[in-house]
Amino acid sequence: MTPNVRGALWMFGMVVSLSLLAIAARELGDRHNPMELQVVRHGISLLILLPFMARAGFRPMRTNNLKLQLFRNLSHFAATIGWYAAVTMLPLAEVFAIEFTTPVWVALLAVLFLGEKMNTGRVVALGLGIAGILVILRPGFAEVGTGTWIMIGAALGFAVANASTKRLTGTDSVLTVLFWMSALQGTMALVGVASLGWTAPSGAELPWLVIVGLMGLAAHFSLAKALKLADVSLVNPVDFLRLPLIAVVAFFAYGESVHILVLVGAAMIFAGNYFAIRRESRGP
């Protein structure tokens, strides 16, 4: 099996992981607030990561950029809380469609704060991304509710976190980034639970809580493996499978229908991202 095929399979693993995470969050959202889900997610992640940390002599616990770790995880934590909330307020396909704008905002932030240049590919991606989100939201024709604004904010938060991760990986290993993500965000979630309270899970909810913990880590690990094995231009299109996959699941599980303009807008966002990636992969 070639590295490109393996990379695509790992990317599909991320697609499945995020879809299962969304379903678990929907199932638990009526009784458990996002802070509780974050405690479970990062608690399980730490338990999984600790043996790997021990085998490496706990060296990955040392970061070369604590301030950036804090900034990155504050952004990611806030975005994830928003994502959990949006999953309970919007059709799942719409959540994923809006989330597809994250790479567009990453490119813009990289130009503004990382000194990267705005080339033709990024201009096209930004233009199609903004047009796509307008098609999805249909301002003036459909009411833009609270859940939609929360998800737009979450996409921007993920963009800030992703841009920060790009800089972090120049000084810290992937294992270090994952450890600090779970340690810092788990602590933030515990503070939130101390304020909001903790709802003891029922026996029927335990499998969903385990899925939250396992799939959160699996999504990040699968993405890292995919990008290590294959070019972004080859694995990125696989991520688009999230939309039809979650749309089918949401239809049969929750009776949710998908407005055709959500699919059109998502396709526009994807086309812009793909054009930019393909152009940059060819070099100047």
Q: Which residues contact 195 (CB under 8 A, 6 or more apart)?
A: none
pLDDT-derived band at 284, boundaries 50, 70, 90: low
Q: Which residue would you say has higher pLDDT here, 193 or 170?
A: 193
Is the pLDDT reported for residue 120 higher than 80? yes
Is the pLDDT reported for residue 166 higher than 70? yes
pLDDT digits (tens, 9 = 90+) for 56-87: 888 888 998 999 999 999 999 999 999 999 99
pLDDT-derived band at 140, boundaries 50, 70, 90: low
Three-state secondary structure of the chain: CCHHHHHHHHHHHHHHHHHHHHHHHHHHCCCCCHHHHHHHHHHHHHHHHHHHHHHCCCHHHCCCCHHHHHHHHHHHHHHHHHHHHHHHHCCHHHHHHHHCCHHHHHHHHHHHHCCCCCCHHHHHHHHHHHHHHHHHHCECCECCCHHHHHHHHHHHHHHHHHHHHHHHCCCCCHHHHHHHHHHHHHHHHHHHHHHHCCCCCCHHHHHHHHHHHHHHHHHHHHHHHHHHHCCHHHHHHHHCCHHHHHHHHHHHHHCCCCCHHHHHHHHHHHHHHHHHHHHHHCCC
Is the pLDDT reported for residue 233 higher than 80? no
The stretch 138-162 carries a mean pLDDT of 84
The predicted model scores a pTM of 0.86
For the chain, which residues make up each domain, given as ranges? 3-281
Is the pLDDT reported for residue 113 higher than 80? no
The stretch 39-43 carries a mean pLDDT of 94
Q: Give Cα 39 to chain centroid, integer Å.
A: 17
CB 128 within 8 Å of CB 39: no
Specify the pLDDT at position 138: 80
Please, what's the largest Cα pairwise distance for the chain? 58
Is the pLDDT reported for residue 105 higher than 60? yes
CB 175 within 8 Å of CB 228: no
Query: CA 109 to CA 129: how far, in whole Å?
Result: 14
